[in-house]
């Protein structure tokens, strides 16, 4: 994959081998260009070609529904200790955006087991894993984790599903002692039921958080918060198997 950024900051992901990109700022010839490079469209507009990072892939790869946004991705990784060599279970896959982040963090010595109940979502996710170059770190399956997880002694389990409380006991069984569970839900009723299931199952050090992201405008006339912000997107519940 290649990333092109136009002079307005708009991003385009293009496959290697593609010869040109058609945009509202003109046609950009790609043949023979290798990143980093500066290209010019036939209308005279400038484009920067770069290798895409996981941040760019998270923003631009195809989606079939909502995704866990970056502010929650960072909290999940920071609160569960996921790192190089970690073995992580994720359910559900969606179109793979969180699994791609996790695969970048666990590295070649780790493993991400991602499970999805919708075949159409998993097909999109598999294409995204290949585009991101992390398919060798991910084991993706059609599986209903409410019926069981199928792996043991993992470092973390992450649930992004409508009824995670029905799979909390399976998460406890799959985790090694000291491992973490993270649950993402958009509604407070869901996260409360997940929290109660985690508590009754035996998870310790429980907490629920909500993250709000407010960007700051820096202008010549002054500095102030932007009028709009990334407000509520979801709640996160965390626990640990002790």
Provide the pLDDT confidence category of residue 114 given band limits of 50, 70 and 90. very high
Q: Residue 17: its pLDDT value, please?
A: 87
Task: Calculate mean pLDDT across residues 196-223.
Answer: 97
pLDDT at site 16: 85
Number of other residues whose CB lies within 10 A of the CB of residue 78: 9
What percent of the chain lies above the pLDDT cut of 70?
99
* Sequence-ordered list of residues with C-beta below 8 angstroms from that of 120, at least 6 positions apart, any chain: 64
Task: Name the band, by pLDDT with cuts 50, 70 and 90, for residue 168.
Answer: very high
For the chain, residues classed under CATH 3.10.330.20 are: 2-52
* Distance between first and last Cα of the chain: 42
Q: Is the pLDDT of residue 64 over 80?
A: no
- Residue 95, token pair as written in the block: 């179109």
pLDDT of residue 66: 76
User: What is the C-alpha separation between 173 and 212, in angstroms, rounded?
Assistant: 33
Give pLDDT tens digits for 176-206.
999 999 999 999 999 999 999 999 999 999 9
The percentage of the chain sitting over the pLDDT mark of 90, rounded to a whole number, equals 93
Q: Where in the chain is the domain with CATH 3.40.50.150?
A: 63-214+226-240
Is 2-52 a domain of CATH 3.40.47.10?
A: no
* Average pLDDT, integer, range 34-48: 96
pLDDT band at 12 (very low <50, low <70, confident <90, very high): very high
DSSP states along 148-202: -----SEEEEEE-SS-GGGTHHHHHHHEEEEEEEEEEESSHHHHHHHHHHHHHHT
Q: Structure pTM? A: 0.90
Homologous superfamily of 63-214+226-240: Vaccinia Virus protein VP39 (3.40.50.150)
Quote the pLDDT of residue 169.
98
Closest CA to 88 of 174, 177, 208: 174
């Amino acid at each position: 994959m290649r990333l092109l950024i136009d002079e307005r900051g708009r991003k385009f992901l293009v496959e290697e081998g593609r010869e040109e990109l058609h945009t509202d700022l003109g046609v950009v010839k790609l043949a023979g260009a290798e990143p980093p490079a500066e290209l010019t469209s036939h209308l005279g507009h400038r484009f920067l070609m770069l290798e895409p990072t996981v941040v760019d892939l998270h923003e631009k790869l195809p989606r079939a529904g909502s995704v866990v946004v970056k502010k929650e991705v960072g909290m999940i990784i920071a609160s569960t200790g996921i790192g190089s060599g970690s073995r992580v279970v994720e359910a559900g896959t969606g179109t793979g955006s969180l699994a791609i982040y996790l695969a970048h963090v666990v590295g070649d010595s780790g493993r991400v087991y991602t499970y999805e109940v919708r075949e159409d979502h998993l097909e999109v996710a598999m294409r995204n894993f290949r585009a991101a170059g992390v398919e060798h770190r991910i084991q993706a399956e059609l599986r209903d984790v409410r019926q069981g997880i199928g792996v043991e002694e993992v470092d973390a389990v992450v649930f992004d599903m409508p009824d995670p409380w029905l799979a909390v006991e399976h998460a406890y069984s799959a985790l090694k002692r000291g491992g973490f569970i993270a649950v993402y839900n958009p509604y407070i009723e869901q996260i409360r039921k997940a929290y109660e299931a985690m508590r009754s199952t035996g998870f310790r050090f429980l907490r629920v958080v909500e993250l709000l992201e407010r960007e700051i405008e820096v202008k010549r006339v002054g500095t102030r918060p932007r009028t709009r912000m990334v407000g509520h997107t979801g709640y996160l519940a965390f626990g640990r198997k002790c």
